[in-house]
Structure 1
Amino acid sequence: MPPNARELDFTRAMARVPGPVVVTTTVDAAGRRWGFTASSFVSLSLAPPLVTVSLDKKASTHAAFTTADFFMVNVLAHDQSDIARRFATSGVDRFAAGDTVTLERGLPGIPEAVVRLACRMHDVVDGGDHSILIGRVLDCVTSVDREALVYVDRAFVRPAGSVPAVARAH
């Protein structure tokens, strides 16, 4: 069904809102690896440490993630747009390039990601045409020398530069 004018307006508006680019990965009970690209990733809570990532209910990965016990969020670096595109493409082996290996908690991860968060599934919440995966963060790995990839205006962009120390939130 084609989108209506309100849906198109909303889509255009949300495209203007920058978001981090993440590849979320898991392994199912049969040992098969699954992954998808998202820009709808945010922190939810500090105590306990919770994050959310949204997944389209029509995605081929939906069943694997909504039944997973664990998943990993890989926040991609500015030079990893090729990985983002591959994990956003249907009908391809997203893991064939070899840039995803077994890491924390036995989950497939991207070693050169800016941040990796290994999560236990805390809850799956209905979010309209998406499911909201809420993960309790068990392990955090951070790279301090890489900038995150950002998605805005339907394009992958590199942040303009480091935020001055005086402007950083503490």
Structure 2
Amino acid sequence: MTMAPRAVRDGLDHPAETTPDRFRSFMSGFPSGVAIITATGLDGRPWGMTCSALCSATTDPPTLIIGIRAESPTLKALLDSRVFAVNLLHDRARRTAELFASGAPDRFDGVRWESRPGCGPHLLDDAHAVADCRVSDSVLIGRQRIVFGEPFRIDDLAETVPLLYGLRQYGRWAEGR
């Protein structure tokens, strides 16, 4: 068994400081579902990014939280339009998750999607459910912006199992659940 590095401060023994790499490694052990956050810019251009930093905040009113890099063009489109879509990916959408994580400028050319007025693009073949959300608030923390969204419409698109991400790899629920 390996012991974590320790440091002495104020005459007391403390665990070593948390670094971004240690924190990233720690969080990789917490698997989550995979979503693609989409928004439409004021010029009509679709934007999107893969996101595993997504969780529910409260059910009354229904509110979710997403974390997005502060320099993200998807974030800019989302904040400008004040609406976005959360596309929850199914287990056959790994290629799409990787495409939207790549930052490729033509990522929407590689997927089937639908534009709806007043919300972000829906990924028709890759999502098992989509929530259209209004931005209710956002907070800058470090180089991330935490966005609070209130879903105003939820569409179930397919009965399938969700795509998961953890330990820096994609996976799916075990069979026979």
| TM-score computed with the length of structure 1 as normaliser | 0.85
2:30 is the alignment partner of 1:14: no
2:103 is the alignment partner of 1:87: no
Distance in 2 of aligned mates of 1:149 and 1:118: 20
- Superposed CA deviations along residues 109-160 of structure 1, whole A, max 9, x for unmatched, are 1124111000011111122221011111000112462100010011110111
Q: Percent identity?
A: 25
Distance in 1 of aligned mates of 2:98 and 2:90: 13
Counterpart for residue 74 of structure 2: 61
Residue 34 (structure 1) shift? 0.7
Rate the CA distance shift 1:54–1:5 in 2: closer, same or farther, 3 A. closer
* SS of equivalent to 2:107: coil
Aligned match for 2:58, one of 32, 40, 45:
45
2:133 is the alignment partner of 1:119: yes
Amino acid at match of 2:67: S
Higher strand share: 2
Distance in 2 of aligned mates of 1:139 and 1:162: 31
Q: 49-58 or 105-114, which moves further after superposition?
A: 105-114
RMSD: 1.9
Rate the CA distance shift 1:91–1:49 in 2: closer, same or farther, 3 A. same
Q: Which runs of 5+ in 2 are unaligned?
A: 1-16
Counterpart for residue 167 of structure 1: none
CA contact (8 A) 1:42 1:53 kept: yes
CA contact (8 A) 1:26 1:72 kept: yes
Q: Which runs of 5+ in 1 are unaligned?
A: 164-170
Aligned residues: 160
CA contact (8 A) 1:104 1:118 kept: no
